[in-house]
Structures are given as structure tokens and as C-alpha cells.
Amino acid sequence: MAELYRTVAINDSENNYTGIEGDWNIIVTGPTSGEPGANPEQFMGMAWATCLNATIQALFKNRKWTNRSRVRVVVTLNPEPSGSGLYFTMTAYVAVEGLDDVETAKAADQAHRRCPVSKLINAYEHVKVEIEAY
């Protein structure tokens, strides 16, 4: 399989950072710690919002559409009902300038089926894609 891109992320619990090998490091903390730093929930939200919106724009470019789009991802961290462990919920809210809800939903669905991040998380029961006004 030919790779188009490769990155290696490293988390070091001793130094409390996550980094991209040979590139940069960022301080990470738990979302409820109150300490400064980023957390996995933020990274998940940013990754999906960026990828899904880029996929929408790629679909539009192929159609020669110039509509602007926005993807807002809400990630929540929740306790398991059993009391043992945690889980994420992730909801992407897609908005497209100049399209009604039906057309926006079609574009969101097509992009969600093609987006590489969506492909990673799509089978997860706590993932949803919703439509909102631009």
C-alpha cells in the first residue's frame, strides 16, 4: 500500500506531553484536571471537524460549487453507566451556506462516508452527524 502521508505521535507520561516525532510537542492534561494544556477530546474534535469539512469542500470543488461550509464537533466525556470506565460521544454539526437542510444533509452524508476520520469512528455507537443553519 502506498502511503500519501505518515506521522508518528508520541505520548510520554513522564514529561506530560504529546508530540509529533521530529516536529513539535504540546502539553496535554486530562479535561477535568483544571491544568493548562490540550486533551484528547479536543484533538478528536479538531481532527474530525477539519477532515469532514475538507471532504465536504472537496466534494463541492468536484461539482464546481463555491458554497462555504462549517463543521462544528461537540465531544463529551461520560462515565460508563456501569460506573467502570469512560466513553466519548461525538456529534458533528454540518452547515452549508446557500443549501437547504435536505441538500446539506445529502452533502454531509456523502462526506461522512468518504472522510478518513469518519471511517475510523463511524461504527462507534456514540457518533452522530447533524445539520444546522450556516
Assigned C-alpha cell, 51? 477532515
Does residue 13 register a pLDDT over 80? no
CATH topology of domain 40-131: GMP Synthetase; Chain A, domain 3 (3.30.300)
According to CATH, where is 3.30.300.20 located in the chain? 40-131
pTM of the model: 0.91
Does residue 62 register a pLDDT over 90? yes
Beta-carbon count within 10 A of 100 CB: 9
- Report the distance separating Cα 101 and Cα 129, nearest Å: 13
